[in-house]
Amino acid sequence: MKHIIFDMDLTLVDTTCLEEARHSRNWNLAYSLIPQTTMYPEMDEVLGIIRKHQIKMAIVSTSPRPYIERLVSHYSIPTQYIVSYHDAKPIKPHPAPMLKALELMGALPKDTISFGDRVIDIQASNAAGIESVACFWGTKEKADLLRSDYSHAIIRPSEILTLIR
């Protein structure tokens, strides 16, 4: 795969400890709690392969850019592009954020794969013509995600490597 799109929260990083602060939009508290978040096991290996093979990567999130940038910096995530809450409207499940990521990466939908933990990630990817992957390791929407129209479903981050090689 030439291009990869990831959701951030509960896909790349377990940000459960930030949920209350994020939902109440207490961003200073959320930022202060970032060191208490954890990257999912095996994700370092996946990101290492992405880095090594210089695969273009974007993060598409419904969270604001400063928050995403802090997580990217904290975990040294090798993303070249971020499409956050304010960067493309309407937000997911509309395809606009995915289309913006494709534009930034200079990518075609057929050369791109997207990973997310929520139904809106799958819907946005599918609407943009991007191969969608339901990620079950962090999802809080397991039953709904199981019923979504994903292209692939995976239960461990290491399975990402089977889809991007």
Please report where in the chains the tokens 């995600």 appear, as a residue.
145
- pLDDT for position 49: 95
| Kind of pairing between the strands at 56-60 and 81-83 | parallel
Structure tokens at 29: 């508290």
How far is residue 115's CA from residue 144's CA, in Å, rounded to a whole number?
16
Q: Evaluate whether 101 touches 58 at the Cβ level (below 8 Å).
A: yes
- pLDDT for position 165: 76
The residue-averaged pLDDT of 142-155 equals 97
The 10s digit of each residue's pLDDT in 9-64 is 999 999 999 999 999 999 999 999 999 999 999 999 999 999 999 999 999 999 99
- The yes-or-no verdict on residue 76 having pLDDT over 80 is yes
- The yes-or-no verdict on residue 113 having pLDDT over 80 is yes
- pLDDT for position 1: 65
How far is residue 155's CA from residue 133's CA, in Å, rounded to a whole number?
10
Beta bridge partners of 114: 5, 132
Q: Evaluate whether 56 touches 80 at the Cβ level (below 8 Å).
A: yes
- What residue type is assigned to position 18 of the chain? L
The pTM of the full predicted model, rounded to 2 decimals, is 0.96
Mean pLDDT of the chain: 96
The 10s digit of each residue's pLDDT in 78-95 is 999 999 999 999 999 999
- pLDDT for position 2: 86
User: Percent of the chain having pLDDT more than 70?
Assistant: 99
The residue-averaged pLDDT of 152-159 equals 97
Q: Which residues contact 101 (CB under 8 A, 6 or more apart)?
A: 5, 58, 60, 81, 83, 107
Helix (H) or strand (E) holding 47, with range, is: helix 43-52
